[in-house]
Amino acid sequence: MAIAFGIDIGGSGVKGAPVDLETGTFTGERLRIPTPEPSTPEAVAKVCATIIASFDLPPEIPVGLTFPAPIKHGVVPFIANLHKSWKGVNVPELMTAAIGRNVIAINDADAAGYAEATYGAAREKAGTVIVTTLGTGIGSAIIVDGKLVPNVELGHLEIDGHDAESRASDAAREREDLSWKQWAKRLTVYYSTVEMLFSPDLFVVGGGVSKYHQEFLPLIRVKTPMVPAALRNAAGIVGAARLAADGYK
Ligand code: BGC
């Protein structure tokens, strides 16, 4: 069985698990450690090292990690939802030194999108697929005929004078105590804008809240077909592991 390891760095937790590359499923139990406060590069790198060390992994296993910001050739150009000192950091360099293994780093939504395109809801789907993750922010990935266009930041579209994720993320729903119906109205505004700009063939909606998709997906009024993510919260880990195995740079 070919295995790779994925680590998903998020605003509230850092999660890791070994992944069976054939099926895109975990081969062992996922380990989650709360994101340290403050979430500085050094503190988060330490948590990643602890996660890796708690699994008995052969030295040559590919390791991929996701990060909640764009990653341009390894470097974070800006950061919305972790400590501001991440700006300008070369993530694979930092993590390789902390973990003692070669690692690749990729935007969290790109990893999720790649996993959905490889194993999940967008598998073998031709045309333009937009995968969004609704969480602390709004992550986005564009996949065209199975190929990922990295670092697309549709969570930061400015809509009605607001940064879109500040109004329509799952964190905004919780913060403002919105009902599913109220939230779906905001999501309709959001997805209609994305639809108008990109004319996608499919929307895949992921993030932890997608397990409640029956509550809000049917209330979102767009023309583009919209489906819940198949891998839910596992998508980041699975996509990062698979990209590491595929030699993503
Ligand atoms: C970041 C994205 C990230 C998304 C979800 C946004 O604030 O800019 O890079 O994918 O949050 O974590």
Q: Where are the domains of the chain?
A: 3-111+234-245, 125-229
Query: Which residues are registered as beta bridge partners of 16?
Result: 7, 31
Q: Indicate whether residue 170 lines ligand 1 (CB < 6 A).
A: no
Q: Indicate whether residue 116 lines ligand 1 (CB < 6 A).
A: no
Distance (angstroms) between ligand 1 centre and the Cα of 70 equals: 7
Alpha helices in 141-212 (DSSP H): 164-168, 170-175, 180-198
Check if CATH label 3.30.420.40 holds for domain 3-111+234-245: yes
Can you tell me whether residue 160 is helix, strand or coil? coil
Between 3.30.465.10, 3.40.50.970, 3.30.420.40, 3.30.1600.10, what CATH number should domain 125-229 receive? 3.30.420.40
Which atom of ligand 1 is closest in space to residue 11's alpha carbon? 12
pLDDT in single tens digits along all 249 residues of the chain: 899 999 999 989 999 999 999 999 999 999 999 999 999 999 999 999 999 999 999 999 999 999 999 999 999 999 999 999 999 999 999 999 999 999 999 999 999 999 999 999 999 999 999 999 999 999 999 999 999 999 999 999 999 999 999 999 999 999 999 999 999 999 999 999 999 999 999 999 999 999 999 999 999 999 999 999 999 889 999 999 999 999 987
Contact predicate 189/159, CB 8 Å: yes
Tokens of 137: 């922010």
Report the C-alpha gap between 180 and 14 in whole angstroms. 27
One-letter amino acid at 160 equals: D
pTM (2 d.p.): 0.96
